[in-house]
């Protein structure tokens, strides 16, 4: 039983470190994505035919979708 509890403690420590590394900056990532989306959308209004801006906008939308899906799958909450 001692070995089992010791292994659980090791796993708990590893999971805490992973969680801190991967999940703590989620809100910052969403805020950064939102800021970039607003910037690109304001530039698209000026030059709607720019392929570079439209591609950038599409990539940002896909990134935001992935972030929100990740949040919903793992935490069951939506961030606006």
List the end-to-end C-alpha distance of the chain, in Å, as a whole number.
Answer: 46
Q: How confident is the model at residue 77 (pLDDT cuts 50, 70, 90)?
A: low
Q: What is the model's pLDDT at position 62? A: 96
Instruction: Report d(CA 56, CA 70) in Å as an integer.
Output: 21
Residue 3 Cα to chain centre, angstroms: 37
Given a cut of 80, is residue 75 above it in pLDDT? Answer: no
Q: What is the model's pLDDT at position 78? A: 56
Query: pTM for the full model?
Result: 0.63
75 vs 44, residue with greater confidence: 44
Domain ranges of the chain: 2-75
Instruction: Report d(CA 11, CA 17) in Å as an integer.
Output: 10
Q: What is the model's pLDDT at position 80? A: 54
Q: Per residue in 20-70, pLDDT tens? A: 777 767 788 888 999 999 999 999 999 999 999 999 999 999 999 998 888
Helix (H) or strand (E) holding 77: none
Asked if 72 and 64 touch (Cβ cutoff 8 Å), the reply is no
Instruction: Report d(CA 36, CA 28) in Å as an integer.
Output: 12
């Amino acid at each position: 039983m001692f070995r089992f509890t010791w292994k659980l403690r090791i796993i708990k420590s590893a999971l805490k470190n992973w969680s801190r590394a991967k999940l703590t900056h989620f809100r910052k990532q969403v805020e950064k994505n939102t800021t970039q989306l607003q910037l690109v959308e304001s530039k698209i209004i000026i030059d709607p035919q720019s392929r570079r801006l439209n591609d950038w906008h599409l990539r940002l939308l896909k990134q935001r979708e992935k972030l929100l899906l990740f949040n919903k799958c793992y935490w069951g909450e939506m961030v606006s």
